[in-house]
């Protein structure tokens, strides 16, 4: 339910709000069919289905997730968002500073790029189930 009357920043904030409560359906409704998701240290995927294939397994071991936007700024279709992602795992809380860059066109996110330190998360994240 993307509204083209929303600003690019509002669309990104709506995406984050849905992600913060684990509603991937609503979050992914804000991305275009050909959206490029560049999870910088890990690679690129395209479109809602591939983005879901990255996000859902990542969040699976996280019974609680807090997304705190530290700073957000927009210039035309480009939105920069510095945030702190907090994940509660069985072993405790893991905090991951992330900076995201988004482009929004025609009411949809067409580029979603996250920058973070892979070592920060991998040293504390549970190994994927075999």
Which of the residues are catalytic? 85, 114
Query: Rounded to whole angstroms, how far apart are CA atoms 38 and 44?
Result: 4
Q: Within 10 A of 90 (CB to CB), how many other CB atoms are there?
A: 8
Q: What is the DSSP letter of 129?
A: P
Composition of the chain by helix, strand, coil, percent to 5: 30, 45, 25
DSSP per-residue codes, 93-105: EEEEEEEEEEEEE
């Amino acid at each position: 339910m993307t509204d083209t009357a929303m600003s690019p920043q509002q669309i990104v904030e709506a995406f984050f709000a849905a992600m913060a409560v684990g509603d991937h359906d609503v979050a992914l409704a804000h991305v275009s069919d050909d959206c490029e998701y560049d999870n910088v240290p890990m690679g690129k995927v395209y479109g809602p289905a591939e983005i879901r294939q990255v996000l859902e397994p990542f969040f699976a071991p996280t019974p609680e997730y807090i997304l705190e936007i530290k700073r957000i700024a927009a210039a035309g279709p480009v939105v920069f968002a510095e945030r702190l992602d907090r994940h509660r795992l069985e072993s405790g809380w893991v905090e991951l500073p992330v900076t995201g860059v988004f482009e929004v066109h025609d009411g949809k996110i067409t580029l979603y790029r996250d920058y973070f330190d892979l070592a920060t998360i991998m040293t504390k994240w549970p190994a994927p189930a075999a």
